[in-house]
Amino acid sequence: MDEKSIYWSYAGKPDNENIIIEHTLKYADIESIKELMNNFGSDKCKQVWERTMLPDKRLRKLNYFLAKFIFKISNDDAIINEYFNHHKITRADRINEIFNR
């Protein structure tokens, strides 16, 4: 897949590996995601996915697909929904925690 279509908001490929992982999970095809998992490891990719993408309700269908077929959370919808509920703290919530200490 063309890097420009994955990193459309950047001049080139970003240096930050978390951004690379997030954008690849959001915009790339299955083969690119498999390559990403080989390069960064499934644990690192899952960690970035849980922190940046799972709380975003706009990505519900994508997150369901990633949970079921990429990260192999479960084949049971109830377990996947429980997993989503467990990881629902948003970026805004984390920022508020930092500033409201």
Q: What φ, ψ does residue 73 adopt, rounded to 5°?
A: -65, -50
- pLDDT confidence of residue 3: 63
- Interacting residues of 49 by C-beta distance below 8 A, sequence separation 6+: 21, 22, 25, 63, 66, 71
pLDDT tens track of the chain, all 101 residues? 656 567 666 667 778 899 999 999 999 999 999 999 999 999 999 999 999 999 888 999 999 999 999 999 999 999 999 999 888 877 777 778 788 76
- State how far the Cα of 48 lies from the Cα of 24, in Å rounded to an integer: 11
Give residue limits of the domains in the chain.
Answer: 3-99
- Interacting residues of 30 by C-beta distance below 8 A, sequence separation 6+: none
- State how far the Cα of 77 lies from the Cα of 73, in Å rounded to an integer: 10
- pLDDT confidence of residue 82: 92
